Structure 1
């Protein structure tokens, strides 16, 4: 058993609590700008004084609606300023927030409301009203308000007669060890479980990131644009890290129009999941192809030079101190003028680095962005560890790993190969679920369900998911993750699901990227041909076969993909095939595509 620990960070006390810090800063520096929101075609600053005023008004409205310290308040909305205001207001009232993904179904919402016994639900608009109408809202949820229908104004009006001393008392009695949130897992294998996370968990995460080399962007004057769902513990943790560090966070929910907002908000840091960065790279490549073969070839060469430059620097980004040759330096400068500067400009022009979580970042993508001057630092964590438990950063990056533990955290690899975590980030228990808690929390260690390796310097590498491990009929253990990640790097591939449990060989469902498929059809004079026919085209299947061969080169013969089926559309969250963080829901995919899977083994 290998383990690695990092000394404890700064201690957490009541003065560090988010509502306490907010009030203190509003009194001392009311004109500082913690947030910005996009309104009427421009970014509008929101001062600390305004934040605290609105938070107190909303909190008073919650109190007037019957919310008492310890009660739960559910929040279902897209990424926007009001989400954070409500979240902070719940804490100001001494209550516990229950984030709900905005894409949740009626059944998921109903389960969370029932399980948490939330007294109030704050939702967004007409789309959520339809979800609420389809759910059987339990009697414990006495109030439902909608942000787009004057919900906050209703709460603020309702709270006018609440004595301000009520809020003062609630904050005075708030303990770091008190529950801050019940955050439900994304449910890749069943009904979500509610992770009870304390204020101390949140503060350990925020302080750990700020004290890490990656926390340099959290200082005053820097900005980050938040577009991941705030219901996800990573997005929420980074938002409060920026808040406590004195930086400014902007909010944007529509990822299809993200590039214009990056250009005008000009963030110093971007937080994303691997698929976001893959899409950015694919979009740049598509633009080059659209300009003709010469531009396509220039991009291809520039990409390889960026990757080669990063690889030459070494896995930790520091290299061996050797200067590049004059020819290599000249080549890099040429591509910097022709390609890299345009990419950096598309990200706002002053992005120092990006952070990736929620899944494995392909090494090629990591090297590409680092080579062009915007390194992506990959981290690792779960809802149960309040987001990042380990992370890479400036001067401490090893591509292919998820970094070293944050302050106070310990990581060990059990004899089974499973990653186990211990420290101040780890959740206290699953809400109303003692058996599930006992299954993963033992002797102060949390069993993550992930498989991994630790190197001598404490850098963690995730090699697979224990529950996803495939055992073939021949007894071979196959981790699907490396194959799926390698396949996803091909421009035509959206997602891949590796199949083989109890089977004679490994096979795969390959779901195409629909935008890339349309571009491929244009390039190959197949415009107008239905996707169902395109995926049977020998030329397209040859390209997919190339991606399969590249992935197979990474594994042993027994682990190779022997057969595959190409699906004419990608998996989506709307159809329940992906979680809100774009992870595969394998049990759903297995059911939906049972016929195609069986056909692979006939």
Structure 2
């Protein structure tokens, strides 16, 4: 099929050659540069010719965000060579698993010294050639995106150019009618499928300038470290119209807007996803003048499934289902999606029309989707009540002291909130206020804090998602194995009085 992303890039290079396509930094360099649409097309074509000359079967790209990253990604699409974006925060074992599963025979970017001296270079990256083996990816794969699960072993989702094009076009159509988007600032790693699509493909379709900076230049390091001052500096310098953020980054943007309102006035559309977003957090954003809108998606559906926009918005939902997919709700409340499904997982082609997402939700008569949490994470308390921990966690997002809070309590008489850090009156007060907005069966009855919680082996995936079953086991073992490590606050059911002990 015709690749509308590449076709649009060619057309823009012909009709508006001097318009800015990309600006930002090259790999490993701090100085800023700019690429027009004509310059970008030349660079993409040259890189594609080089990849074809090397007779590459599959590319593994591991690097921080940069203009070079974008060029290599587009060159792979231009040359129709599968590419595997490898997150920088993957462990060595996960990287090895990714290479073994994908069968990549060309390494581009930042790789371990064990591969020896680089064989060549492309754009600003070193290149290593590996022996060609039997392709592991599914036929017609264009991008293989690996997501880390609760087992810690990433799973490769194979997407064809068709899926990438359809979701990009649907997103562009959904926002271009009422959103002025001339400059998009990339915040998330480009190895994340969501930002790869919204930060590279959609701006090309819209004729926008995408600002591509390294993580440190926008305040991000690793998978969860953040410097709000650097973030504010990037906003001041580039004055973007659009951003794609996680709920935690939206909280940081709210803090920036509170202290320096002028820094967010250029924004016309801020998409928030990656986790359920609480209505109070979105209300805080809107009160600060931030046009924040929740969306929902997953890699198996090419990323975005639904999104709120300025002209079609219902706070509390994950937005209207996009035109390229269909959604229905199963009898048990699980969200099912049809259309634009991935080809499958590596070695496991999808053979069904409807994808069971594993998410619980509802769909209203206007086509707006609401996500309530993960089906497998549903907590059943000792009283037989079903509780979605993501629902409570998202409600806590509006309170800075509770950012990163994790709720557990399978089979218990009450729910426990787990936080990284030390117990404090601020945390206790925030939990008390949170409970006032929750039904009695969903209230927090205990708070557990532990310094360095996120660095404890096995409790979180490499991209920071909690492994809830292991957290439950860890809490049960605390008194016997690690006395004095944690601090606990007990909130007695039905009472606002709290007692603290260590």
Q: Write out per-residue CA displacement over residues 324-366 of structure 1, whole angstroms, 9 at most, x where no aligned residue.
A: xxxxxxxxxxxxxxxxxx32x223x411121111112221221
The counterpart of 2:431, out of the listed 540, 545, 548, is: 548
Find the counterpart in structure 2 of residue 449 from structure 1.
358
Find the counterpart in structure 2 of residue 193 from structure 1.
155
Distance change (3 Å), C-alpha of 1:15 and 1:430: closer
Q: Which has the higher helix share?
A: 1
Q: Which has the higher strand share?
A: 2
1:276: how far off?
Answer: 0.2
Q: Distance in 2 between matches of 1:353 and 1:597?
A: 48
| 1:229-244 aligned within 5 A | 229-239=189-199, 240-244=201-205
Find the counterpart in structure 2 of residue 386 from structure 1.
302
Find the counterpart in structure 2 of residue 73 from structure 1.
59
Distance change (3 Å), C-alpha of 1:597 and 1:96: farther
Query: Would the aligned equivalents of 1:101 and 1:580 in 2 still touch at CA under 8 Å?
Result: no
Q: Distance in 2 between matches of 1:143 and 1:413?
A: 51
Q: Distance in 1 between matches of 2:395 and 2:255?
A: 15
Query: Would the aligned equivalents of 1:471 and 1:501 in 2 still touch at CA under 8 Å?
Result: yes
1:587: how far off?
Answer: 4.9
The counterpart of 1:87, out of the listed 52, 60, 73, is: 73
Q: Write out per-residue CA displacement over residues 302-331 of structure 1, whole angstroms, 9 at most, x where no aligned residue.
A: xxxxxxxxxxxxxxxxxxxxxxxxxxxxxx
Q: Secondary structure of 2:331's match?
A: coil
1:489: how far off?
Answer: 2.8
1:387: how far off?
Answer: 1.5
Query: Would the aligned equivalents of 2:65 and 2:212 in 1 still touch at CA under 8 Å?
Result: yes
Q: Secondary structure of 2:154's match?
A: coil
Find the counterpart in structure 2 of residue 260 from structure 1.
233
Q: Distance in 2 between matches of 1:279 and 1:353?
A: 16
The counterpart of 2:206, out of the listed 233, 245, 255, is: 245
| 1:508-547 aligned within 5 A | 508-512=417-421, 535-536=422-423, 540=424, 542-547=425-430
Q: Distance in 1 between matches of 2:103 and 2:117?
A: 10
Q: Write out per-residue CA displacement over residues 121-149 of structure 1, whole angstroms, 9 at most, x where no aligned residue.
A: 1123xxx435xx3xxx7xxx997778897
Find the counterpart in structure 1 of residue 101 from structure 2.
115
1:493: how far off?
Answer: 2.6
The answer on 1:151 being equivalent to 2:136 is no
Distance change (3 Å), C-alpha of 1:151 and 1:580: same
Distance change (3 Å), C-alpha of 1:247 and 1:353: same
Q: Distance in 2 between matches of 1:82 and 1:218?
A: 27
Deviates more, 1:365-374 or 1:546-555: 546-555
Query: Would the aligned equivalents of 2:3 and 2:161 in 1 still touch at CA under 8 Å?
Result: no
Q: Secondary structure of 1:507's match?
A: strand
Find the counterpart in structure 2 of residue 225 from structure 1.
185
Query: Would the aligned equivalents of 1:400 and 1:461 in 2 still touch at CA under 8 Å?
Result: yes
Find the counterpart in structure 1 of residue 499 from structure 2.
none
Find the counterpart in structure 1 of residue 315 from structure 2.
399
Find the counterpart in structure 1 of residue 112 from structure 2.
129
| 1:196-207 aligned within 5 A | 196-207=158-169
Distance change (3 Å), C-alpha of 1:87 and 1:149: closer
Find the counterpart in structure 2 of residue 315 from structure 1.
none
Q: Secondary structure of 2:323's match?
A: coil
Distance change (3 Å), C-alpha of 1:150 and 1:276: closer
The answer on 1:210 being equivalent to 2:175 is no
Distance change (3 Å), C-alpha of 1:21 and 1:456: closer
Q: Secondary structure of 1:378's match?
A: strand
Find the counterpart in structure 1 of residue 466 from structure 2.
584
| 1:403-482 aligned within 5 A | 403-424=319-340, 426-433=341-348, 437=350, 442=352, 444-482=353-391
Q: Distance in 2 between matches of 1:471 and 1:212?
A: 38
1:483: how far off?
Answer: 1.7
Paired residue total: 460
Q: Secondary structure of 1:204's match?
A: helix
Distance change (3 Å), C-alpha of 1:150 and 1:226: closer
Q: Mark the runs of 5 or more structure 1 residues left unpaired by the alignment.
A: 1-12, 156-176, 288-341, 513-534
Which gives a bigger RCO, structure 1 or 2 (Cα 8 Å, sep 6+)?
A: 1
Q: Distance in 2 between matches of 1:578 and 1:501?
A: 18
Q: Secondary structure of 2:51's match?
A: helix
Query: Would the aligned equivalents of 2:239 and 2:263 in 1 still touch at CA under 8 Å?
Result: no
Q: Secondary structure of 2:96's match?
A: helix
The answer on 1:23 being equivalent to 2:15 is no
Q: Write out per-residue CA displacement over residues 193-217 of structure 1, whole angstroms, 9 at most, x where no aligned residue.
A: 2111111111111111111146655
1:94: how far off?
Answer: 2.0
Q: Write out per-residue CA displacement over residues 73-131 of structure 1, whole angstroms, 9 at most, x where no aligned residue.
A: 1111112111111111112222111111111111010001000101111123xxx435x
1:56: how far off?
Answer: 2.5
Find the counterpart in structure 2 of residue 62 from structure 1.
51
Query: Would the aligned equivalents of 1:214 and 1:393 in 2 still touch at CA under 8 Å?
Result: no
Q: Distance in 1 between matches of 2:355 and 2:404?
A: 30
The answer on 1:373 being equivalent to 2:356 is no
Q: Distance in 1 between matches of 2:71 and 2:469?
A: 36
Find the counterpart in structure 2 of residue 14 from structure 1.
2
1:414: how far off?
Answer: 0.6
1:477: how far off?
Answer: 1.6
1:57: how far off?
Answer: 2.5
1:43: how far off?
Answer: 4.1
Pairwise CA RMSD: 3.1
Query: Would the aligned equivalents of 2:307 and 2:321 in 1 still touch at CA under 8 Å?
Result: yes
Q: Distance in 2 between matches of 1:94 and 1:142?
A: 27
Q: Secondary structure of 1:492's match?
A: helix
Q: Secondary structure of 1:34's match?
A: strand
Query: Would the aligned equivalents of 2:454 and 2:464 in 1 still touch at CA under 8 Å?
Result: no
Query: Would the aligned equivalents of 2:17 and 2:36 in 1 still touch at CA under 8 Å?
Result: yes
Q: Distance in 1 between matches of 2:19 and 2:463?
A: 32
Query: Would the aligned equivalents of 1:470 and 1:500 in 2 still touch at CA under 8 Å?
Result: yes
Q: Distance in 2 between matches of 1:554 and 1:506?
A: 15
Q: Distance in 1 between matches of 2:124 and 2:66?
A: 15
Distance change (3 Å), C-alpha of 1:588 and 1:101: farther
Query: Would the aligned equivalents of 2:270 and 2:290 in 1 still touch at CA under 8 Å?
Result: yes
